[in-house]
Structure 1
Amino acid sequence: MRIFKFGGASVKSPDAVRNLARVLQHEGIENTLVVISAMGKMTNAFERLIKAYVDGSDDLNEALQAIKDFHTFMMDGLFDKNDEIYNKVTYLFGELAGRMAINTSKDYNYIYDQLVGFGELLSTTIVSAYLANIGVDNKWLDVREYVKTDSNYRDAKINWELTEKIIKEKVDTSKLNITQGFLGNNGEYTTTLGREGSDYTAGIFAYCLNADSVTIWKDVQGVLNADPRVFEDTELLRNISYTEAIEMAFYGASVIHPKTIQPLEQKQIPLSVRSFEDLNLEGTAVTGSAKGIEPEIPCYIVKKNQTLVSVSAKDFSFMVEDNISAVFKKLHDYKLKVNLIQNSAISFSVCIEDKFNNFDKFYNDLKSSFNMKSYKDVTLYTVRHFNDQAIESIKSKGRAIIRQINTETAQLVIQEKT
């Protein structure tokens, strides 16, 4: 059993979908389950739609029409005008409109999860139909019937026991199965597994089906030591250990989703990251037999749009367990993801990611009890296996507000030059 995962870049155009079919025909389709993301930048487009819907904005119809136009463009490039796919997609858009019409909730996270997943449903419906039209027999699965979660919308936790039971009983592993990434279900409503959660979906199915391998197909040759959009000179990492992959994912490496590795490591399922453009390249292997990374070179991880906040006691007393625990409780309450911690005798600093737009509430909640200082829109650079040259290259990008270095990892919070 093999699990393939294709991200948005692999289905961003009609030619890209044709190429996905080429990959499957080259690799073989037997005993394969394929996880597919929303097409191109459609998750971003759905987020704009959701914002307009929640805000009651006049931009709602324009945002919806842009999504419809894109999927019509995709279908026009892949199907005859009288193909049944047009009716299927029209039905999905009708369901989307119905969800918006009947919703009475004011909870943004709940609304987000009920609407954003239509990107994946549209994507997989179109790809599945195209494959069938060219003679690649496949079965379309609604992932929400298989992946069961709690009700923590936008970052749902897996009910592993129930999910594994359903997947083992209901998935016909002898066929080519097509399903969505990112989505789950809490027994009543759609949930999502966190941004970029399609990799995690692949890991979930691999674990539950005792798969032989997982392959993530990308528009790069494999896992690089840095994001080529940020750094000019990058190098392929041929082998990565599970431990190293988890470390890199923890610090924010975008090639592999942070939650993906754990279920694979538990059953020693190898993960490959390969290029869907050049099928002759071996890409990167992530396995239990690898040690660290090969080659062992500095690896750069960049997290932009971060907020650095420093907290100190108003009476100039030490920042110790009781007041630090109070700060951490508030960070948890406001769903602020901590990416760096630095503590001194009288101050406590954290670099955080505010994906739920709660920082201002957090700040206002604490400022009556603590002295607060914040820096918004800073960039967190993490360098694994650093050397002096790597550190200097990061420092040249702006003013280092915080530097933190241990044996294997250096982290710098930078106010970048404008």
Structure 2
Amino acid sequence: MTQVFKFGGASIRDADAIRHLGRLLAHFPERPLVVVVSAMGKTTNALEALLAAARGNDPDDYRDRLERLRRDHLATVEALFGASADPVAQRVEALIADLDRRHRAHAGRERPFHYDQTVCFGELLSTTIVSAWLDEVGLTTEWRDARELIVTDDTHQEANVDWAATAERVRGLDVEDGRIRVTQGFIGGTAKGASTTLGREGSDYTAAILAHCLAAEGVTIWKDVPGLFNADPRRFDNAVQFGRISFSEAIELAWHGATVIHPKTLAPLQQKAIPLTVRSFLTLEAPGSTIGGDAFHDGDVPAFMLREEQTLLEIRPHDFAFMDEARQHDILGRLVTAGLHAGLIDAGAMRLSLCLDSHPARLEPLVASLCADFAVVRRDDLTLLTVRYPTASLLAGLSEGREVLAERRNATTAQYLFHSRECPATWHIPA
């Protein structure tokens, strides 16, 4: 059965990384194999800056940035192929020329449309080079344009997949002939041929879409870390790696702020019970972390999520009335309109408490709106700690010496809101 591998920009950032990718894939001779590749390194950032220069009517800056993009990719081609670089270099040159033509053609269009016609070239360039290198080292490939496989609507920068049309096109991949299919993450195309992008975590989502349509055996996302952890290792000095968790648990962790796989990636895999494994492209022998259909291992170790730069709003009716369903509906509706997510919601008879991201452009209009109709007490500079599957002793250790401004608990989850000044730069999970 088909396997789908996804490689991010860090795993193909330069010629050495692409060589390493070739050696890694040589360890997996089983076919069929579909390889989804992101743009190289910081290429998407460079393309966004190129777009800004094009739309800012700064032709000199635009030309400088386009030439830098061209030189960087050609330097990678030269480092990989040496004297035999010409055929690949010509394909790279053709893509750069096409990018330039599209900028001229779409300069007057709305920015989201123009954005999608620009940033897609990062993945087109990277996969052109990667596919050619894999052929060079004896791993025969077929390069496929994801814009012709993944059909979307025209909601640019956050396109929605047309699943029926996509499934029909993906079935035409004919993955059974022994060649590795190499395609792009993050991008798709409308039925009329306009380029689109899939939004946040789009490359992971691409791998899930293809796996779903191919009824794949599994998806592997290769990262520069060995797997998924029960806490951010940069903030918790004794974080441990998950061996296996369920789709539903991974979605819970993401909802509470963990940097795990995005729920939109997990949904199409969960529908067909296709496991997703995160592995290290740096250390092939390191065991990975798998997200699958069973929940047997959920709760084996507690998980910890931090949300910093939080604001607590305590909202009460002016007339000392109940905070009933009608008032809660009104307040939460305003929250939706503001585009804010409440990491913690706690209701009392005459009070509704909301813990929100301190996003000034969104938060301040919301606060002003609420203050017009309710009594509002606001606290800033807070940290929200969420713990999945806690024990009483664990919670006592985490909260010791800190004022708890708000808390919420249920059978599987506890949340504490602290002053940020009372929180350490590096946390330690109590034994």
Q: Please, what TM-score do these two structures have when normalized by structure 1?
A: 0.84
CA distance in 1, matches of 2:367, 2:110: 21
What percent identity do the matched residue pairs reach? 38
| Partner of residue 83, structure 1 | 86
| Partner of residue 167, structure 1 | 170
Is 1:143 the equivalent of 2:146?
Answer: yes
Out of 25-34 and 81-90, give the one that drifted further. 81-90
| Partner of residue 345, structure 2 | 341
After superposition, give the CA deviation of every residue in 1:7-42 in whole Å (9 maximum; x if it has no partner). 222112222111111111101252000111222233
Is 1:176 the equivalent of 2:177?
Answer: no
CA distance in 2, matches of 1:64, 1:309: 47
Task: Count residues in correspondence.
Answer: 416
**1:152 is paired with a residue of what secondary structure?**
coil
- Conserved in 1, the CA contact under 8 Å of 2:275 and 2:292? yes
| Partner of residue 97, structure 1 | 100
Query: Given residue 38 of structure 1, which amino acid in structure 2 is its aligned partner?
Result: A
Q: Which has the higher helix share?
A: 2
CA distance in 2, matches of 1:376, 1:106: 41
Out of 139-148 and 204-213, give the one that drifted further. 139-148
- Conserved in 1, the CA contact under 8 Å of 2:340 and 2:357? yes
Is 1:297 the equivalent of 2:301?
Answer: yes
Out of 12-21 and 38-47, give the one that drifted further. 38-47
| Partner of residue 249, structure 1 | 254
Query: Given residue 251 of structure 1, which amino acid in structure 2 is its aligned partner?
Result: H
After superposition, give the CA deviation of every residue in 1:216-241 in whole Å (9 maximum; x if it has no partner). 11222222222222222221211212
| Partner of residue 33, structure 2 | 32
CA distance in 1, matches of 2:72, 2:315: 46
Query: Given residue 274 of structure 1, which amino acid in structure 2 is its aligned partner?
Result: R
TM superposition shift of 1:198:
1.5
Is 1:114 the equivalent of 2:117?
Answer: yes
Out of 384-393 and 283-292, give the one that drifted further. 384-393
| Partner of residue 429, structure 2 | none
Judging changes above 3 Å, is the alpha-carbon distance between structure 1 residues 319 and 284 closer, same or farther for their aligned structure 2 residues? same
- Once the two structures are superposed, the pairs formed by residues 18-417 of structure 1 within 5 Å of their partners are 18-28=19-29, 30-50=31-51, 64=66, 67-80=69-82, 82-103=85-106, 107-174=110-177, 175-188=179-192, 189-293=194-298, 296-304=300-308, 313=317, 317-344=321-348, 345-352=350-357, 358-359=362-363, 368-369=372-373, 379-388=383-392, 391=395, 402-413=406-417, 416-417=420-421
CA distance in 2, matches of 1:183, 1:70: 22
- Conserved in 2, the CA contact under 8 Å of 1:383 and 1:390? no
Judging changes above 3 Å, is the alpha-carbon distance between structure 1 residues 182 and 361 closer, same or farther for their aligned structure 2 residues? farther
CA distance in 2, matches of 1:69, 1:389: 58
Query: Given residue 78 of structure 1, which amino acid in structure 2 is its aligned partner?
Result: L
Q: Please, what TM-score do these two structures have when normalized by structure 2?
A: 0.82
TM superposition shift of 1:297:
1.6
**1:278 is paired with a residue of what secondary structure?**
coil
Judging changes above 3 Å, is the alpha-carbon distance between structure 1 residues 23 and 392 closer, same or farther for their aligned structure 2 residues? farther
CA distance in 1, matches of 2:65, 2:280: 32
Judging changes above 3 Å, is the alpha-carbon distance between structure 1 residues 373 and 390 closer, same or farther for their aligned structure 2 residues? same
CA distance in 1, matches of 2:139, 2:362: 47
Out of 236-245 and 298-307, give the one that drifted further. 298-307
Structure whose CA Rg is larger: 2
**2:82 is paired with a residue of what secondary structure?**
coil
Out of 328-337 and 93-102, give the one that drifted further. 328-337
CA distance in 2, matches of 1:370, 1:14: 60
Gaps of 5+ in 1: none
**2:151 is paired with a residue of what secondary structure?**
coil
After superposition, give the CA deviation of every residue in 1:103-144 in whole Å (9 maximum; x if it has no partner). 356754444333333222222122112112222211111112
TM superposition shift of 1:331:
4.1
- Conserved in 2, the CA contact under 8 Å of 1:304 and 1:380? yes
| Partner of residue 428, structure 2 | none
TM superposition shift of 1:289:
3.5
Judging changes above 3 Å, is the alpha-carbon distance between structure 1 residues 415 and 75 closer, same or farther for their aligned structure 2 residues? farther
TM superposition shift of 1:173:
4.2
